[in-house]
């Protein structure tokens, strides 16, 4: 379910935003039985959608049998509670959906801690509206003050949990800094893969390093960081790392919670931006990546761009759409006009040229530093 307010700031068509929301839902294991949208000047503070659309949504319950409704924007606690009261089903928003996917894909202790922190920070302001009672992670006799309301107890427990998780993540961050320090001392350059989720970063890491990293056609299939060694032209060794993909409307709290993981990007000598060139929203995806890189203050790092999945754009004459490439470069930032390579990670196309471009970019970076 999505709302279109007609805002000039909306860069993605509503239909494409719903397509992505549907893909997220399927990644989380949901079976999508329908989708709705509404054009409205501004979302309702009470129900997010207008009362007429709410009645329409309610009437679809009998015909579709839905048991969950997912909204494309973040809901307030009041909106969520009111919607659940009327529809009598579970209501979640895009942020909660992303957090659910992250919790499914986190395998390492670091990833699990970071997801737990993001979930707790998301939950805290919603306790009053949802009246969610937490599993008691601590406390006991004497932890509840005289006359203290249950909601205040819950808030205090969540805040304590957040503080505990931040302390544990800080220990992880310091531990992770040790191998990064050793890598810097070794003089081996580090390349970090960045890009929108599901652009083929894991497939490219597999192809470049002969690794066997799990690569699926799912959003956020990779969450925990993975680093492998590769050989570049001139017998130059380098380390290449992959981590979580970006997505529009990525919760700020999630970016903050994953600071320890995302520090891999800030420590890299070069960013390798992987773009799904076959996607009609490739320019918008790139803009999302740019915004997050700016948020992380690493948007000016040396960069190579790999326009991936060109095999999906081949015409019968086995020639990819060069006009689309020109239009794409014109629509995106100037950084894409340099060090840009066409590739197909799954078919191993263009990888030699990509390695050569990476080697030259690293050499240029080294010369500038010297």
Span of 125-129, 160-164, 262-266, 306-310 with lowest mean pLDDT: 125-129
Residue written as token pair 């969520």:
80
Can you name the CATH fold of 187-369?
Rossmann fold (3.40.50)
- What are the structure tokens assigned to 133, written together? 């009672």
- In angstroms, the Cα distances linking 99 to 25, 35, 201, 296 are 12, 21, 21, 20
pLDDT in tens, 21-58: 999 999 899 999 999 999 999 999 999 999 999 999 99
Binned at pLDDT 50, 70 and 90, residue 215 comes out as: low
pTM of the predicted structure, to 2 decimals? 0.80
Fold of 2-94: Rossmann fold (3.40.50)
Instruction: Report, as an integer, the average pLDDT of 199-224.
Output: 74
Do domains 2-94 and 187-369 share one topology? The answer is yes
Give per-residue burial for 322-347: e unless 16+ CB within 10 Å, then b.
eebbeebbeebeebbeebbbbbbbbe
- Burial label for 164, CB within 10 Å (0-12, 13-18, 19+), is middle
Give pLDDT tens digits for 158-201.
999 999 999 998 888 787 666 666 666 668 999 999 999 889 99
Looking at the DSSP bridge assignments, the partners of residue 232 are 236
In this predicted structure, the answer to whether residue 363 has a pLDDT above a threshold of 70 is: yes
Output the average pLDDT for the chain. 82
What's the pLDDT tens digit per position in 104-131?
877 778 888 888 998 999 888 887 655 4
Q: How far apart are CA 362 and CA 370, in angstroms?
A: 12
Domain ranges in the chain are 2-94, 106-165, 187-369
């Amino acid at each position: 379910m999505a709302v279109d307010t007609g805002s000039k700031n909306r860069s993605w068509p509503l239909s494409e935003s719903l397509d992505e929301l549907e893909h997220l839902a399927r990644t989380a294991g949901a079976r999508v039985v329908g989708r709705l949208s509404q054009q409205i000047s501004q979302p309702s503070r009470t129900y997010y959608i207008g009362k007429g659309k709410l009645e329409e949504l309610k009437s679809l319950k009998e015909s579709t049998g839905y048991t969950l409704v997912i909204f494309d924007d973040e809901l307030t606690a009041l909106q969520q509670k009111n919607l659940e009261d009327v529809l009598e089903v579970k209501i979640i928003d895009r942020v909660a959906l992303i957090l659910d996917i992250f919790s499914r894909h986190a395998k390492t202790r670091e990833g699990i801690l970071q997801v737990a922190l993001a979930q707790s920070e998301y939950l805290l302001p919603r306790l009053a509206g949802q009246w969610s009672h937490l599993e008691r992670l601590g406390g006991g006799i004497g932890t509840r003050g005289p006359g203290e309301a249950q909601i205040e107890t819950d808030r205090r427990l969540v805040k304590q949990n957040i503080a505990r998780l931040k302390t544990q993540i800080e220990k992880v961050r310091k531990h992770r800094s040790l191998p990064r320090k050793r890598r810097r001392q070794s003089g081996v350059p580090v390349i970090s893969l960045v890009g929108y989720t599901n652009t083929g970063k894991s497939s490219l890491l597999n192809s470049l390093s002969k690794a066997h990293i799990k690569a699926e056609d799912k959003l956020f299939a990779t969450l925990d960081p993975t680093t492998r060694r590769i050989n570049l032209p001139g017998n130059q060794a380098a380390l290449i790392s992959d981590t979580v993909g970006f997505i529009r409307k990525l919760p700020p709290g999630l970016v903050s919670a994953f600071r320890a993981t995302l520090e891999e990007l800030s420590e890299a000598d070069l960013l390798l931006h992987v773009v799904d060139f076959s996607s009609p929203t490739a320019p918008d995806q790139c803009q999302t990546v740019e915004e997050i890189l700016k948020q992380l203050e690493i948007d000016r790092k040396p960069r190579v761009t790999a326009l991936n999945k060109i095999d999906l754009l081949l015409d019968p004459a086995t020639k990819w759409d060069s006009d689309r490439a020109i239009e794409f470069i014109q629509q995106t930032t100037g950084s894409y006009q340099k060090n840009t390579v066409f590739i197909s990670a799954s078919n191993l196309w263009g990888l030699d040229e990509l390695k050569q471009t990476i080697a030259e970019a690293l050499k240029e970076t080294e010369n500038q530093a010297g």
